[in-house]
Amino acid sequence: MSRINIYHLYPTHLNLYGDRGNMLALCRRAEWRSIDVNIIPVNPGDDIAFSRCDLLFMGGGQDSDQKMVAEDLKGRSRDMLKAVEENMVIFAVCGSYQLLGRYYITAQGEKIEGLDIMDLYTEKGKGRLIGNAAINCSLWEPPRTLVGFENHGGRTYLGPNLQALGTVLHGHGNNGTDKTEGAVYKNVIGTYLHGSLLPKNPLLTDYLLQKALAYRNQDSSFQELDDSLEEKAHQAALKLAGLQRK
């Protein structure tokens, strides 16, 4: 039987806007395919054996939580980067996405040093970027739509060689100006899409699981599932954004 170790980083602190639902989606879609899932919650101060982690999930958090996370991970960033370079999978949402970059400037003007895993930075902006969102995701060819909900005050800017997760069809994205949303580096995906994201986007959920399996040289070929309910949720979110599926 295939097996995936999913590390859930700081589940009590990083769980805004239903992000815990992303963990449920990952576990259920793995279990439906008879993949054994081992969930390891990681709390502040715990040891993190990145060498045993296949998929690291980081949810969204408030500025105070982001500061705590940054400080707690600061001494482990070298091991984390090593695992990333070896193709460990990371899925990071909102505040955690910001922390994967070089730095984040909070609404109070405080500069929080990031983990420097992705070539991006985040600065405070005027007002918040809130609402239903949809993007054309570049993980597939042709691109497929992803839907979610965004609520962030920071504006994130990608470096010249960093790939965006997708192009904004509706909503604000990384900064409200350049039509980019999220970022992808190797098997690391960062995004501002909450809501939670994965239950309404089973294609992305399966993508993460397949990458985690391939990371350990396990069979990543998947049987199809009945995604009729997930598809209804996806279509409903597209309608809220005034879009049709692409």
CA angle 222, 6, 217 (to 5 degrees): 50
Active site residue 137: no
The answer to whether 224 and 51 have CB atoms below 8 angstroms apart is no
State phi, psi for 58 to the nearest 5 degrees.
-125, 115
Residues 6+ apart with CB under 8 A from 105: 111, 112, 122, 123, 124, 154
Q: Where are the alpha helices (DSSP H) in the chain?
A: 20-31, 63-74, 77-85, 95-99, 202-215, 228-240
8, 13, 194, 234: the catalytic one is 194
Structure tokens at 112: 């929080």
Residue 223 to residue 214: CA distance in whole angstroms: 16
94, 137, 152, 172: the catalytic one is 94
Active site residue ranges: 94, 194
